[in-house]
Amino acid sequence: MGLKRSHRLPAAIGSVVAVLAVGGGLSAAGAQEPAPPPVHSAVGPSVQAKVRGMTLEEKVGQLFVTYAYGRAADAPHPQNRTEFGVDTPAQVVQRYHLGGLIHFTWTDSLHEPRQIAELSNGVQQAAVSSGAGVPLLISTDQEQGQVTRIGEPVTQLPGNMALGAGRSPEDAETSARITGEELRAMGLNQNFAPSGDVNVNPANPVIGVRSFSSDPALAARLSAAAVHGYQDGANVAAATKHFPGHGDTNQDSHTDLPVIEHTREQWEQLDAPPFREAIAAGTDAVMSAHIVVPKLDDSGEPSTLSPAVLTGMLRDELGYRGVIVTDSLQMDGVRAKHSDAEIPVLALQAGADQLLMPQNLQVAIDGVLGAVRSGALTEERIDASVERILEMKRKRGVLDSPFVDPAAVDRVVGNAEHREQAQRLTDRTTTVLRDDAHELPLRDPGRVLVTGAGDQATAELAERFRARGREADSLPTGMTPTSGQVRQAVDAARSHDTVVVLTNAAWNGTNAAQRDLVRALQDSGTRVVAAAVRDPYDAAHVEEVPTWLATYSDKPVAMESLARVLLGEVSPAGKLPVPVPTADGTGQRFPFGHGLSW
């Protein structure tokens, strides 16, 4: 999620409405199909009364979550004029009666905690002082680890796969609670996390370390724990994603429409458990995936637009009564077959409630309004979604207390207790995969060179050595080191006693030059320790190095844990949450649960 593209405007709205005039859309043969019945959640009379008092335009606005540009609610930004026809974030909220706003770095929204809190208060004031007066859901994707939208001083955590290596539901809950408390202090009340995807495909380009595990039971336990952490611990709405499961794909739905060939039985065994457990834990929202699963729905539609998946499976079979939110509607995986006016209508017909980041907001809203007026959607169907959204806002205290105290932000965000908890749980995740030469822990590392992927990670790890009185240098070589960079690293290695080389998705063929770097360093004659700072699969691709670790994260908190393990300050406790296949993919190099300790 988070793709931003130039607009490709669809055909005239009138023609779209004509296409959608059938109650449930058109089948492949053009025959009429009944629209799925709306499923109302149990909402209080105050929510129902609020919905009854809203205009159709206000109700349709509540369905949409999008971004606005700028670091302050009343600060003009030229991109707002280009995309939304107004100047400020507050005006975007007011013009479109938005139900939610999502923040990104690329929208110039996320700078430092107090600024974020003040921006949140400003857009909330815009929402409550106009139209229906309904406060906003303010969200981001603070999954932690690889997908971390807000950086330091916000407490950084290693992410889901690291937590899978730690095996602790308590740690998963703590991680989510810390994240949620800090988001809430900055005025964000919905987090698009956790990822409940079971990463059974090592070639998955979009999930990977965002998944807790390849084991459905472990992923389910930790997904439920994270939901409790966000909602019970921090009062932030969780959104478990990406239903029906994005873990077994080798394509990225941001740029393609992935097809997953799981049978119904495989889905029940592999993909469903985390969603079942998250629903049992009370997850406020479930996010849909832009994937095609032919054996679950043979229509060819992505799950986001599939009544069989969202209504038939998620609502009727799993009994889910909360909010269904789409993944970003700008992603190519959902835009392959339909215009930007059709997509939100089809998503609503499928069973979705929140419509996230349409390619063109005005076109999307007009498409929904036109569908109601034509009868393709009923106003009752709109009401059902708005009631669920408002009920989620009520449960999280957004309707009654939408504002935060910017002066209190620094007492919560990045405080000492949170950082200490984050470090302790991260220390339980670092995994030693190989120690064939019995080099670990490094009793006398001598002069250390830290090289490989990641400017920040290499610098941070070198600093961790220096903080302990060790002599250490950093030499980042990037994701695809050139032959010149490899030679430079080898030359530097020869003047050091130990080289720690960090790899980041070196298993991926596009990053194969990282493997050349590791092999060349091993041939330099200097002691080499390799650490995979994202997927652990890298360790199977360079057998020449006898010492391999996995951190699942390149965040500073993970580099501190790596230093502690390397120097023997803590015993490694992480166990592989996924099996590591052999380089040729024909077997397992390291099995699920593998991990050395001392």
Please say if 242 is a catalytic residue: no
Distance from C-alpha of 516 to C-alpha of 223, rounded to nearest angstrom: 37
User: How many domains are contained in the chain?
Assistant: 2
392 plus 436 within the same structural domain = no
- Does 13 fall in a domain? no
The pLDDT tens digits of the residues spanning 231-266 come to 999 999 999 999 999 998 876 667 678 899 999 999
> Do residues 292 and 257 make contact, with C-beta atoms less than 8 angstroms apart?
yes
Whether residue 319 lies inside any domain: the answer is yes
Annotated active-site residue 554? The verdict is no
Q: Do the domain assignments include residue 356? A: yes
Contact 574, 168 (CB under 8 A): no
Q: Please give the mean pLDDT across all residues of the chain.
A: 92
Mean pLDDT of 81-87: 98
How is residue 464 written in tokens? 């961790």
Which of 452, 454, 421 is CA-nearest to residue 542?
452
pTM comes to: 0.91
pLDDT tens, position by position, 418-464: 999 999 999 999 999 999 999 999 999 999 999 999 999 999 999 99
Query: Are 504 and 574 in a shared domain?
Result: yes
Q: Please state, for a pLDDT cut of 70, what percent of the chain lies above it.
A: 92
Which CATH number does the domain housing residue 274 bear?
3.20.20.300
Task: Say yes or no to pLDDT of 24 above 50.
Answer: no
List, for residues 181-219, the tens digit of each pLDDT value. 999 999 999 999 999 999 999 998 889 999 999 999 999
In percent, the amount of the chain with pLDDT more than 90 equals: 89
Asked if residue 436 and residue 391 are part of one domain, the reply reads no
Residues with Cβ within 8 Å of residue 450, at least 6 apart in sequence: 458, 459, 461, 462, 465, 472, 473, 474, 475, 499, 500, 501, 502
Q: What angle do CA 371, 338, 26 make, to 5 degrees?
A: 60
Q: Which domain holds residue 486?
A: 430-590
Note whether 350 and 326 are within 8 A (CB).
no
| Given the residues 246, 254, 338, 594, the one annotated as active site | 254
Domain end position, chosen among 350, 377, 412: 412
Please give the full DSSP string across 63-122, using - where no structure is assigned: TEEE----SSTT---HHHHHHHSSSSHHHHHHHHT-SEEE--TTTT--SSHHHHHHHHHH
In a domain, 252, yes or no: yes
Give the number of other Cβ atoms within 10 Å of residue 29's Cβ. 5
Q: Which has the minimum average pLDDT: 13-22, 77-86, 207-216? A: 13-22
Residues 96 and 212 in one domain: yes
CATH code for the domain in which residue 472 is found: 3.40.50.1700
Same structural domain for residues 406 and 477? no
Domain presence at residue 49 = no
At residue 258, the pLDDT reads 85
Band the pLDDT of 484: cuts 50, 70, 90: very high
**Active-site annotation holder among 327, 340, 353, 554:** 327
Domain assignment present for residue 26? The answer is no
Query: Using CB atoms within 10 A of its CB, is residue 312 exposed (0-12), middle (13-18) or buried (19+)?
Result: middle
Q: Reply yes or no on whether the pLDDT at 143 is more than 60.
A: yes
Q: End of a domain among 352, 380, 412?
A: 412
> b/e per residue, 517-550, with b = 16+ CB within 10 A?
bbbbbbebebbbbbbbbbbbbbbbbbeebbbbbb
Contact between residue 292 and residue 259 where contact means Cβ atoms under 8 Å apart: yes
**CA-wise closest residue to 368 among 390, 342, 331, 395:** 342
Domain assignment present for 176: yes
